[in-house]
Amino acid sequence: MKLTPDEILAYVERLSTPGSAQLEALAEETVRTLDSPQMLSGPVVGRLLEFLVFALGARSVLEIGTYSGYSALSMAEGLPPDGRIVTLEIDETHAEVARRAIAASSHAEKIEIVLGPALESIERLPGPFDFVFIDADKTGYPDYYEAVLPKLAPRGLIATDNTLRHGSVLDESDRSPGTEAIRAFNERVRDDPRVRCVILSVRDGMTLIRRA
């Protein structure tokens, strides 16, 4: 299912502030060299993440799922000079691409890549985090959510990506593990009295979550 016509997506991208030349080059490298290039956040989501980080005045950011580093570099643009991002990645190939891109950027001192299983890494991180971006394996969303919620700053925000799954959340015949997990996650967050949430129909769906 197509959530938004291609013409509208192209218009939105064209009329939004474009990404930096480095981000454009990183996007091209990602498509050319990495598996599953659809995992790339892209310019509109990247700009939205930057806006959220900036609007929050965030200084401490946690990202679950680095991929090629595009989203981490986007968020870094919204951070103050003393801001920090810890980004978690389990795939060494993805992490290596991200390391090179981050090292070549003006934000290298702001971003730390932690390699390994995300839940183990989260357990070791003290927090609090002003902003958390979850964009990793979909079946892990409930566990990531429960792990980071206690470490969220009082006025912090969690953003979870791909929560509409290209509309497959509405397709009752789609019983794939990822889609089932996202359906369950969306309902779980909506019904959680600890938080308030809203799903945005940006690209593949993004849910924003805050403490109630």
Structure tokens of 28?
């091209």
- Rounded-to-integer distance, Cα 183 and Cα 24, Å: 32
Mean pLDDT across 135-162: 97
**Per-residue pLDDT tens over the stretch 6-33:** 899 899 999 999 989 999 999 999 999 9
Mean pLDDT of the chain: 95
pLDDT of 1 higher than 80 = no
Specify the long-range contacts of residues 199-204, CB closer than 8 Å, at least 24 apart.
199/163, 199/164, 201/3, 201/4, 201/164, 202/44, 202/45, 202/48, 203/3, 203/9, 203/42, 203/44, 203/45, 204/3, 204/161, 204/162, 204/163, 204/164, 204/165, 204/166
Q: Report pLDDT for 210.
A: 98
- Rounded-to-integer distance, Cα 168 and Cα 149, Å: 27
Mean pLDDT across 72-90: 97
Mean pLDDT across 115-126: 96
Residue ranges of the domains in the chain?
A: 6-211
Q: Report pLDDT for 37.
A: 79
pLDDT of 83 higher than 90 = yes
**Per-residue pLDDT tens over the stretch 40-79:** 888 999 999 999 999 999 999 999 999 999 999 999 999 9
Q: Report yes or no: 194 and 212 within 8 Å, Cβ to Cβ.
A: yes
Cα Rg, the chain, nearest whole Å: 16
The CATH number of 6-211 is 3.40.50.150
